[in-house]
Amino acid sequence: MADRLNGTRILILETREEAQFSKLLAEQGAEVVQCPMFTIHDAPDPAPVEAWIRRAIDKPFDDLVLMTGEGLRRIMKLARARGLDAALVAGLSGSRKFIRGPKPGKALREVGLEPHQTTEKPTTEGVIEMLGRLDLRGHRIGLQLYPDKDHSALTGALAAQGAEVDAVLPYAYDASAADANIVTAIDEMAEGRIDSIALTNLGQVRRLIEAAKAHGSEAKLRAGFERTLIASVGPAVSGELAAHGLRADVSPADDAYFMRPLISAMATALAERKPATTR
C-alpha cells in the first residue's frame, strides 16, 4: 500500500543499497533523512588480495565462505583489473559456496554462480553453526572477511574442524569524515525530529556509538533512541543493539531480513504509535 508513511521522517544510515532503500521509503510517503557514515575503499594494499585470487585459480578451494556481497564484488573488481576474472569464476565454480545471508548470494549470481547453502541466521554465529554440521577435515577453505570485526571465533572454529583456512580482506572502511553527519543525526533524534531510524547492519550501530562517544553525545544518543522507533533488519543488528543496552522496537518476520519487510514492519508500528509531536 502506498502512502503508509505519510508525514513521517525516517533516518537511514549509509548502506550499500542506500539509494534503493530511500526510494522505497519515499514511495510510501516518508521524508527520508540520509546520514552518510563511512566510505568503503578497496584494500589499501591489493597485493594480498591478488595473491588470494591467484591461489583460488591455481589450486581451487574445496569450499568458499562469503561473509558479504561487497567482499566478492571487490575481489572481482581487482580480478578484472588483472585480467583474472574469467579464471577466478572458473576456479570458484567447483567450490562449495557457503554464504552469510542473501547479499553474498546476489553477488555470486552476478558472476553466474550459485550458493550451495545459506545461513539460517545472517550472522557470524550462523556461519559457524552451518559449517559446524559439516566434515571439513583436510578441506581448503577460502574465507572472505569484512572490516571492523573480530573473526577469530570463525577462523578458530574452522581450524578446530581440521580445515585449512585461507582468508582475504578485500576492502576497508573510512569513517572519520562522516562524524559530523552522525552528530547531526543524533541531534535530530534527541530533538524529536525523527520518527524512526532504520538500521540495516550491525556496523551502523557500532558507528553511532563510537561517534557519539568521540563527540560527547552518548547521553544525547540514548535520549534520542528513547524518543525514536528503532527498526532493525534482523537478529545481527538487534543483537548489537542489545549489547549496548539498546532496544529494537520492530524487525521483519523470521527469514525476511530485507528492506521491503522492514518497511512494512515500520509502517505498522508507526501507525500504532500516537501522532508525532508537532515539529
Boundary (domain end) residue, out of 149, 173, 197: 173
User: Do 139 and 47 share a structural domain?
Assistant: yes
Between CA 167 and CA 157 the distance in angstroms is 14
Residue 31: which CATH number?
3.40.50.10090
Mean pLDDT of 209-220: 94
153 and 67 belong to one structural domain:
yes
pLDDT of residue 1: 52
pTM: 0.66
Mark 181-208 as b/e (b = at least 16 C-beta within 10 Å): bbbebbebbbeebbbbbbbbbbbbbbbb
Among candidate residues 173, 198, 223, the one where a domain is terminated: 173
Q: In this structure, are 98 and 148 located in the same domain?
A: yes
Locate 195 and state its grid cell: 520518527
Question: What is the C-alpha to C-alpha distance for residues 141 and 162, in angstroms, rounded to an integer?
Answer: 11
**One domain, residues 22 and 46:** no
Say whether pLDDT at 255 is over 70: no
pLDDT digits (tens, 9 = 90+) for 109-156: 999 999 999 998 888 999 999 999 999 999 999 999 998 788 999 999
| Owning domain of residue 50 | 41-173
Shared domain for 31 and 49, answered yes or no, is no
Would you place residue 177 in the very low, low, confident or very high pLDDT band (cuts 50, 70, 90)?
low
Kindly state whether residue 4 falls inside one of the protein's structural domains: no
For residues 109 and 185, membership in a common domain is answered with no
Domain membership of residue 214 (yes or no) is: yes
Neighbours of 47 (CB within 10 A): 8
Q: What is the pLDDT of residues 260-274, one digit of tens each?
A: 889 999 999 999 885
Considering the domain architecture, whether residues 240 and 180 belong to the same structural domain is answered as yes
Q: Is residue 28 part of a domain?
A: yes
pLDDT over 60 at 278, yes or no:
no
Identify whether 52 is part of a domain.
yes
Are residues 156 and 254 located together in one domain of the fold?
A: no
Percent of the chain surpassing pLDDT 70 = 94
Band (pLDDT 50/70/90 cuts) for residue 279 is very low
Q: Is 135 among the domain residues?
A: yes
What residue has cell string 552518548?
A: 218
